[in-house]
Amino acid sequence: MKVRVDIMLKEGVLDPQGKAINHALSNFGFRDILDVRAGKTIEIDMGETDRAKAVGIAMDMAKKLLANQVIEDFKVSIV
């Protein structure tokens, strides 16, 4: 089963990568952009066949390693 962990900086945390993307988009003529936030997506293919267990395992992975819960939020979904 494949799970996806989407990780984003929490609201209010400075996002220099998002600011750089916003600036670059503006340079390419995309001037109506109000804000850009950059994050990361991690896909994990695991042997677990039970959806609830797979989500639980991925949540545990995100809490322990994949996301810094002080500055990041995450969401787990089945792919």
pLDDT at 34: 95
Query: pLDDT tens across 4-13, in order?
Result: 999 999 999 9
Average pLDDT, the chain: 97
Residue 51, classed as helix, strand or coil, is helix
CATH number for the domain harbouring residue 48: 3.30.1280.10
Distance (Å, rounded) from C-alpha 75 to C-alpha 61? Answer: 12
Overall domain count for the chain? 1
Question: Which tokens in the block code for residue 37?
Answer: 């936030």
Domain holding 54, by residue range, is 2-78
Distance (Å, rounded) from C-alpha 24 to C-alpha 74? Answer: 26
Q: Is-above-0.85 flag for pTM?
A: yes
Distance (Å, rounded) from C-alpha 47 to C-alpha 30? Answer: 43
